[in-house]
Copies of this chain bind each other. A is one copy, B any other.
């Protein structure tokens, strides 16, 4: 690897029709119960979704800055099955459940050594600078559908 590559933060990848994104648990993520604070899984989900979208060519920082729009979370559901702890490495596994013109629903599971710790579903809506839903960029939608078709067909 070159120096420039070594200074790149972690990026996830697609495997078997799903997106995998690893997260290490630091003190910042935990609470006095000795486990990951429940709200923080939504932060991990955002990191994984951002990475997944970037792999599809959907760079939300750029569209945000250009005033073209960004994703906002419209709904989230989480089921907490097992706790996660300091120092563990978790894998956030994400896949599309539904793709609509202005919104996507994504299943996001938190896995550790093959066991599911948390099951989440997050619906994101693409909105313009006025906060109103708008059609997701056509190139992105095409990528999402193409990937999802391929993985559904497996």
Q: Is the CB of B27 within 8 A of A37?
A: yes
Q: How far is the CA of A79 from the CA of B75 in the complex (A)?
A: 4
Q: Is the interface of A mostly helix, strand, loop or mixed?
A: mixed
Q: Is the CB of B87 within 8 A of A80?
A: no
Q: How far is the CA of A40 from the CA of B131 in the complex (A)?
A: 19
Give the contact stretch, choosing among A17-25, A99-107, A133-141, A142-150: A17-25
Contact A27/B46 with A87-B59, A87-B60 known, Cβ cut-off 8 Å: yes
With a CB–CB cut-off of 8 A, which chain B residues contact A85?
A: 32, 61
With a CB–CB cut-off of 8 A, which chain B residues contact A20?
A: 6-7
Given A27-B50, A38-B42, A75-B78, 4 more contacts at CB 8 Å? A6-B15, A10-B10, A33-B70, A72-B80
A interface residue numbers (CB < 8 A to B): 3, 6-10, 13, 15, 20, 22-28, 30-35, 37-40, 42-43, 46-47, 50, 59-62, 64-65, 70, 72-80, 83, 85-89, 91, 131
